[in-house]
Amino acid sequence: MKHLLSLSVGSSRASSSELIQFQGKEYRLTNLGVDYDVDMFESILKSYDGKCDAICVSYVPPVVVLRKKILMHNLYRLVRETVKETPVYFGHHLRAIIGNWTLRKSMEEGEFNCSNANVLFLTGLGMHELAKTLSPMALSCRFLDAWTLLRAPIIFKDLAALEKHSTVHAGRMEKLQLNDHLADGISRRLFKKWNRQKIQACDIVVAPANVISSFDPKAFKGKIILLDTMLPGLSEKLMAAGVQNIFYPQVRIAGADKSYGYSVSEALIAIDRGQEDTLSQEDLLDYYGVNDVDARLMQIDQTAGEVPRKFAFVIHPLSRRDVLRYPLFKPVGLLPSPMIKKFEALLAKAPGLPYGRISGVRSEATGVHADGYIYFVGATPRAMLDAKPEAIYDRINGIAKMAAREGVKIIGLGAFTKIVGDAGVTIAAQSPIPVTTGNSLSAAATLWAAKDACRKMGFLKPLPGSNVRVQGTVMVIGATGSIGKACTSVLGASFNHIIIAAINAPRLMAYQEELKEMYPECRIQVTTEPARFASQCDLIVVSTSATEGGAFGLATVKPGCVICDVSRPLTFSAEEAMKRPDVLIIESGEIELPGNDIRIDCDLGLARGVVHACLAETALLALEGRYESFTLSRNINYRKVKEIYKIARKHGARLAEIRSPNGIITDQEIELCREHALRALALTSGEKAVG
C-alpha cells in the first residue's frame, strides 16, 4: 500500500491518518500540520524522506515569475534542498488550472460575474495566475499584499504596480515568515480602520483560504468572497459575519472516493501516471484529456451570487442645517453667521462630493443585491434656482462620471437637481450612465400614502354602481407639474370629482381637456386659486410650494380631509397642523427599501432603512436591471407610475410609516383625528340645521 504524507505549514488541528481510495487502489494518507513552526516542518520532511511514496506540501507560496525576477519563497527552497528521495507535490499548477478553469466556466454560465465589480486581492502574489485572469475582466483589481504580508498601509491599484513593488523588494518577500499575517502588532491596530475602508470599497474579495482566516470576518460583511479552497468551519464563520456569498473551486477526479486538496490530488494523478516528479501544466492537461475530472466553482448561497447592482443618487441641502450635516462641514457651524454665509456661497459653486453609501438592499423576489453611492451638491434650492442651468448640468454630470468609474449603472436626481432647467433631459443626454428623476415613484408613493391615510380615516364611500371609484372630491395643487400631473392622471380613475390647481391658466385648460378624454365620466374643474375649493375636498395633494401657487389656509379645509404634502419645504408647519386636529396632514410617502440589513452610512434626515421615494426608484431600477432613463422631464407618463409601483411591490419595497409635520403618525392618532372630524362635522350639520 502506498503511503502519502500531506504536510501543512499551517494549523495542526486537522492532523490525522486515514485510508483513501483512488482508481480502485487503497492508499494511506497521513495529514500533519506544524502551526508555522519551520524547524518542525524541516524535521518532519527529513523523517519522512525516503519512507513514504509522496510528500504533499500545502501553504507554501507558489513560485511567481515576474518580468525581471522569479520570486521563490525560502520555504520552497527548503523543501527542495531537504527532500532528496521522495517526490514532492505542491499542487500549485493544479490550483492555478482549476481556479482559472472553474472561474471561466462559472462566468460563461452566468453564475459568477465580475465585469462590474471592484475586486480586491488580499494577496495577488499568492494567487498570481488568477490575478492575471481577473485583471482584464473586472472593473478594477486592487492588491493588498503590502498590508497582508508586510503590514504596510499601501494598496496597489493594478497588477503591474504590485509586480514592480515585488521585484524591488524580492529579497524581503522571499524571507517572509508565513505567520506574520497572524500577528496582532502595532501596525495592525493603528491601521485597522484604513484596512476596513479598503475592504469596504470593493465588491469582491479574493484570497487564499488560510490568509482570509487571519482577518476579522466582520470586515467582509456584505462582500462576495472568492477563495482558492474551502477550510473546515470557514464558510460558517464568514456567513455568520454577514458575507453576501462565498465561491470556491472544488475538484473531484474520477476514481477518487472524495475531493482532496490540490497537493494530494496532484500526487494521486502522478502516481496513477507512473510519474515520480512534480507535474507540469502540460502533464495535467494530458491527464484531463483522458480522464473525467469534475471541477466546479461552488457557492454557499445559490441566490446571492451576483455582485451588487450599483446605483447613485444626488442630494443637496434644503437649508443651512442640511449643509452642516455633511461630516466635514460640521465645524463650520461654530463660525460667525457672516462667515457661514460666505462658506455657503463658495460651497454652492463647488464640484459634487461623495457623501455616503447604502448597502444591504436585497430583492425579496430575486435575491439580487444593490449598493448605492450618495453624492452631495452644496447648493441650496435658492442658490440652485439662481444659478445658470448649464452650471448645474456640469456639476451633476461630473458626479455621473465619478459614479460611472465606480461601476454605477444608473443615477437618480434628488430635490431641486431634477427641477433645474429641463428636469433631467439635458443631464441624461450628457451623462455616461442613465439618469432618472425618481418622480414616477414619488408620485406612486404619494398616492400610496394618500390611499392608506384615506382608508384609515374611513370617510370615503364607494360610488354607487362603480367598483373602483369613490364618491369624493380630490384637489391636486401643482397639477401641471411633473408629480402633480402624474398623481392627477392616476387619481382620475378613483374619484368622481377632480379639481386641478396651478398658476398657469392656459396649461390648466389644456390639461383639463386631456383629462376629460381620459375620464369622461369624471367631473373636472380648474382653478388658479386653490383656497376657493379647500372646503369641498376629501383629499388635497400639494405638489408645489406656496410661492408657486400652492398657498391656501387650513381654516376653511373640510373636517376629515387628508392633505398629502409633496412639496419641500412643507406647506404647513407643525404649529399650523396642530391647530386643525380634525384634518390629517401627511408628508409624501417615504419608502423602506427591501433587505434585512440595510446600512446607510450618511445622514439623509430619515429613519434607519427609510429613503425618499425618488432615491428608492433609482435603487429599484437597479434591482430590476432596468438601466434606463426611466423618468425624465416634467411630463410623467402615468403608466410608468403604475409600473414602478408594481416593481416596488415585486421586490419588497414598503411604504414607510406615515409622517406628519409633527413626526410619525400612529393608528391611534389617526383614529383620534377621525373622532375630532366627526365631532366637527356633527357641529357643522347642527349649525346648518339651526340656520
The residue written with cell numbers 376653511 in the block is 556
Q: Worst-scoring range by mean pLDDT, 31-35, 39-43, 441-445?
A: 441-445
438 within 8 A of 315, measured Cβ to Cβ: no
Rounded-to-integer distance, Cα 587 and Cα 607, Å: 14
pLDDT of residue 686: 60
Rounded-to-integer distance, Cα 322 and Cα 14, Å: 56
> Residue 201's pLDDT band (boundaries 50, 70, 90)?
confident
User: Hey, what's the torsion of the CAs at 266, 270, 275, 280, to 10 degrees?
Assistant: -40
Query: Of residues 452 and 387, which shows the higher confidence score?
Result: 452
What's the whole-number mean pLDDT along residues 124-150? 92
What's the whole-number mean pLDDT along residues 318-322? 72
For the chain, give the mean pLDDT.
87
Rounded-to-integer distance, Cα 229 and Cα 299, Å: 11
What's the whole-number mean pLDDT along residues 263-291? 84
362 CB contacts (<8 Å, ≥6 apart)?
304, 368, 369, 370, 594, 595, 596
Instruction: Measure CA 589 to chain center.
Output: 22
> What is the value of pTM for the model shown?
0.73
Dump pLDDT digits (tens) for 335-357. 888 887 788 778 778 888 899 99
Asked if the model's pLDDT at residue 687 lies above 60, the reply is no
DSSP letters for 90-132: --HHHHHHHHHHHHHHHHHTTS---TT-EEEES-TTTTHHHHH
Q: Which domains does the chain show, CATH number per domain?
A: 99-255+293-299 (3.40.50), 309-441+592-659 (no CATH), 464-588+665-690 (3.40.50.720)
H or E element in which residue 22 lies? strand 16-22
pLDDT of residue 148: 87
pLDDT of residue 583: 95
Please tell me the number of Cα atoms within 13 Å of 206 on its side-chain side.
Answer: 30
What's the whole-number mean pLDDT along residues 384-399? 86
Dump pLDDT digits (tens) for 34-88. 988 999 999 999 999 999 999 999 989 899 998 878 999 999 999 999 999 999 9
Dump pLDDT digits (tens) for 521-575. 999 999 999 999 999 999 999 987 644 445 688 999 999 999 998 876 778 888 8
Proportion of the chain in helix, strand, coil states, percent, rounded to 5 = 40, 20, 40
> Residue 603's pLDDT band (boundaries 50, 70, 90)?
confident
Rounded-to-integer distance, Cα 575 and Cα 591, Å: 26
> Residue 274's pLDDT band (boundaries 50, 70, 90)?
confident
Q: For 532-612, where are the alpha helices, taking DSSP H only?
A: 574-578
Percentage with pLDDT > 90 across the chain: 49
H or E element in which residue 228 lies? none
> Residue 219's pLDDT band (boundaries 50, 70, 90)?
very high
